[in-house]
Structure 1
Amino acid sequence: MFLKTREFNQYERYILEAAGRCDLDQFDKDHLFTTDKRLLGEQLFYERIKDCIGGAKIWDMRLRLNGQSQYDFIIVADGKIMHFDTKYYEGQYNYVKGNFVSENGYVINNPLALQTKQHMRLQRFVDKMGISYEVVSCIIFVGEQFNVSGFNGDKRILFDKDICKIVNRLNRREVTSEEMEIARTFLEHYDYKGMHTRIHYYPFEEMKKGVKCPKCRNFLPIAEKNAKKVRCQCGCEYTKKEVVRLAFDAIYVLKNSGVTVRDVVEFTGVGRTIVQQV
């Protein structure tokens, strides 16, 4: 069971909505790239474990003990508190002195260095709370298109093929009340400070209009007059009222001010009557 799933902070919501609507500056382009990669890896892992009957699960946890640490997934199960740091990469890599080096020279710098710091802070928190569960931290490279040569194995580093083992373990038995209580203790100490990066608002009137699909983030087609639903190229379908609500949220984030009926009509192609009803 998931007690918490991923929520975008204000800056993430903005750059994800602004992407494809205007030219982003280099700062935002860099953050958009890392945000996209991070969210893709997290989403893939979430989809694989969300229906497991065991474990009290948290997607995105932040703790502050001598600095803030962010944890992609915390799972409390079988006497263990397991932290999974998900990463998404594609292509062929070589493992060289703790680094992962791609064929074109891109380097994933010693991911275990940060993981070790996160693990120590997590262990400190567990000890402080008086929780007698073993702390286990792993980096997991999700996605079948990531291949590594020269890696001799490290129990702290997992790959896509290992997710099946995690799923099987989490399906051995149902989550317990004790595990749920421990997970709630974590959430009571969620640290909201330092989550927001500066936002540079681009001119709203110069942005490309349209509503993005929440699943694939591609633009939805403009609603046809007599159609009841709008269908995305990824296969997802939305009623016109759902499209209006998505448009309102997007415009509110992008405009950083009041949303008008005219704004929503121009974004969606939905008639004024339905927009006003919503």
Structure 2
Amino acid sequence: MLLKSCELPYRLKYYQSLSGRASMSRKQIKDQAIYQAGYHGECLFAEMIRSYEHATVLWDITLSNEKGESQFDFIVIHDYSVFHYDIKNFKGKYQQNGDILVSQTGYNVKRPDMQLSCAHNVLEAAVKSYDWQYEVESYLVFINETFYFEGVRSPHWLYRSLLKQHLAAYENSHLMLSRNKQLGQFLINNHQPNVHLDVPIKTAFSEVADGLKCPLCLKKITITFDGKKYYSCPICKKVVSGKELLLSNLCDLYYLKGAPFSIREAESWCNSPSRTTLKRLLKANFKSTGQKKAVRYYLEN
């Protein structure tokens, strides 16, 4: 049971909004690729764990206590055990050089075992403060099927080939789902999002192109709103509803500006659609601040 899910991180929303509106730097492209791969790996694990109804699953939790602060990709509660899974979407062959993992392509990453240990201590302290009877286990999950390590594998490493067998333990239940759900809710209540860790490399808003962009192919397009419910993208030819088209571009405006915007800014950004339609969409999907002509719209990140 997925008690807490995770939507697309703000960092990736920003880069998706920027795509097609400005040329991205090499650093931005690299940053997007790294975080996109990481999120894709988490999505793969979420699909694998989703079917185990007897397990209480939390996706993306940050906890802070006397042991420190850590972000957890997945926490799974089953019977009297709490499992932490740190997902790594590394591709290809790696070998160890000191405390560094080196890929065949020359990509270097610090061996993540120490980070796992620190996170384990934070989670264990949080769980024991709720109920000392629960035991905590932590694992690094190398979710990509192509990952291969030349060296001694830690017992806390799980390869994709071992994952199905490991997760099969969640098929059995001792009927503690209600109690485990309460522990899961306790951890959710103590979740402290670390927004400073989810910051993209930004482009000045003045350098970003306004106008409409297809939410499917992410290309800039020219469409005249004439009251139809659906519109065909001139580039990818796929059909999208007018509501989805406008909402996607309004989200682009907020993420790229990085601040609340006015109805006039929204009209200009979206090539002057119906103000009534815009207001209806903004009221249903955005928060607002201010009154009358000073109203500004924003999203909760």
TM-score (norm 2): 0.73
1:158-197 correspondence runs (5 A): 158-173=158-173, 176-192=177-193, 195=196, 197=199
Match of 2:53 in 1: 53
Root-mean-square deviation (CA, aligned residues, Å) is 3.6
One of 255, 260, 272 as aligned partner of 2:266: 260
Which protein has the larger Cα radius of gyration, Structure 1 or Structure 2? 2
Any idea what the Cα deviations from partners look like across 1:139-158, whole Å, max 9, x if unmatched?
1011223223x244322111
CA distance in structure 1 between the partners assigned to 2:98 and 2:191 by the alignment:
35
Match of 1:244 in 2: 246
Cα offset, 1:228, TM superposition: 3.3
1:1-278 correspondence runs (5 A): 1-7=1-7, 10=10, 13-24=13-24, 28=28, 31-66=31-66, 67-96=68-97, 99-148=100-149, 150-173=150-173, 176-192=177-193, 195=196, 197=199, 200=202, 202-204=204-206, 206-207=208-209, 209-211=211-213, 213=215, 218-219=217-218, 222=221, 228=230, 238-255=240-257, 256=259, 257-258=261-262, 259-265=265-271, 272=274, 275-276=277-278, 278=281
Q: 1:212 to 1:74 in 2, by over 3 A?
A: farther
Q: 1:58 to 1:204 in 2, by over 3 A?
A: farther
Q: 1:131 to 1:261 in 2, by over 3 A?
A: farther
Matching residue's letter, 1:94? Q
CA distance in structure 2 between the partners assigned to 1:145 and 1:137 by the alignment:
22
The answer to whether the 8 Å contact 1:241/1:274 transfers is no
Q: 1:275 to 1:51 in 2, by over 3 A?
A: farther
Q: 1:42 to 1:133 in 2, by over 3 A?
A: same
List runs of 5+ in structure 1 lacking aligned partners.
none
Any idea what the Cα deviations from partners look like across 1:219-262, whole Å, max 9, x if unmatched?
1685878783668x99x975332222222222222233234234
Cα offset, 1:73, TM superposition: 0.5
Moved over 6 A (4+): 223-227
Q: 1:44 to 1:262 in 2, by over 3 A?
A: same
Aligned-pair identity (%) = 20
Any idea what the Cα deviations from partners look like across 1:119-146, whole Å, max 9, x if unmatched?
1121122222234111010010112232
Deviates more, 1:185-194 or 1:138-147: 185-194
